[in-house]
Amino acid sequence: MNTPHAVPDPGPAAADTVRTWLAEADRVLITAGAGLSAAAGYDYGDTTRLQELFPALYRMGLRSRYIVGVQLPPALWWAYWAVHIDDIRYSPAPNPLYQQLRNVVGEKEHWVMTSNVDALFARNGFDPDRVFTPQGDYGRYQCTVPCSRITWDSRPLVETLLAAYDPATGEITDPAVLPHCPNCGEDVEINVRIGPEFIDDPYLPAGARLQEWLNAAEPASRLLILEFGAGFNTPGVIRTPGEHLTRHIPGTRLVRVNPTHSQTPVDLGDRALPVPFDADRLLDALSNGSAFG
């Protein structure tokens, strides 16, 4: 029987390299996908948490918070969104992992680009004006048509829905509070990128400022891209742009932190570092000045 060769743990070397690259960088671009929020405790596939928050939907067979394509009556649909957004977007508690990331970046000039729609960066010490969220934000909702380019703050809607929520049935008990577009009366939806009706107007200014920041770099400056938890669900949002920037901006380095999809393109050579671990392991190492635990 053939015995597999032992694979050396890349953790200590990776931590040292990231620490060095961060020290040498003039500017940092943090890019993040769903894996970062999952590592921070917001895992959409966590069935235990789903059962706690949505017992009625769990009894109906729901096992994931990913409900695109799931058909539910409006009373159940909006109950789900109210509870989900209240938990993910409006929880007042600070998140230790995101705060740890903010501390690791320190005083380095930095920007954030994330496919996450939970505002965890802005809620944990990152400048909201330097966070680009091209996929939207649970903090807003829009007309499904859409009849205009207007979006609305979702917090009052969530509070109204929760006041009429029955956890036992998983439903909104008062049909009068189910939302409709105040302009045309059609249905509304959360302002996240699902289809071509998505209104991206609230996010375009930040995207333009990020592009200006990238273009304004001095020729000799060093940009470090720290990518966390970006897989292949929407690679064109986070993974591909990071690779493109690394190829085309001199002096740029890419660190890809992902426990299952840390591969980096061969042509980037030693300017790209795959780190095949969850974000918390790397951030703990960087925070403590140690290798991976």
**What are the structure tokens assigned to 135, written together?**
């996929």
pLDDT digits (tens, 9 = 90+) for 162-209: 999 999 999 999 999 999 999 999 999 999 999 999 999 999 999 999
- For 188: left if phi > 0, alpha if psi spans -120 to 50, otherwise beta; the answer is beta
Output the pLDDT for position 278: 92
Phi, psi of 202 (to 5 degrees): -65, -15
**What are the structure tokens assigned to 254, written together?**
């890419």
Let me know: does 108 contact 102? Beta carbons within 8 Å.
no
Whether residue 49 lies inside any domain: the answer is yes
Whether residue 230 lies inside any domain: the answer is yes
pLDDT digits (tens, 9 = 90+) for 1-43: 333 333 344 466 899 999 999 999 999 999 999 999 999 999 9
pTM recorded for the entire structure: 0.92
Q: Where are the alpha helices (DSSP H) in the chain?
A: 11-24, 34-39, 47-53, 55-59, 74-88, 96-105, 155-163, 204-215, 239-248, 279-288
Percent of the chain predicted with pLDDT > 90: 87
Whole-Å CA distances, 70 to 55, 77, 141, 215 = 17, 9, 19, 42
Amino acid at 21: W
Whether residue 137 lies inside any domain: the answer is yes
Rounded CA separation 45/35 (Å): 11
Whether residue 1 lies inside any domain: the answer is no
Q: Which residues span the domain enclosing 165?
A: 11-288
Whether residue 293 lies inside any domain: the answer is no
pLDDT above 90 for 128: yes
Output the pLDDT for position 1: 39
Whether residue 204 lies inside any domain: the answer is yes
Whether residue 5 lies inside any domain: the answer is no
Which CATH number fits the domain that encloses residue 48? Answer: 3.40.50.1220
Whether residue 144 lies inside any domain: the answer is yes
**The total number of structural domains that make up the chain:** 1
Beta-carbon contacts of 252 under 8 Å, excluding residues fewer than 6 positions away, are: 222, 223, 224, 225, 245, 246, 271
Rounded CA separation 89/235 (Å): 23
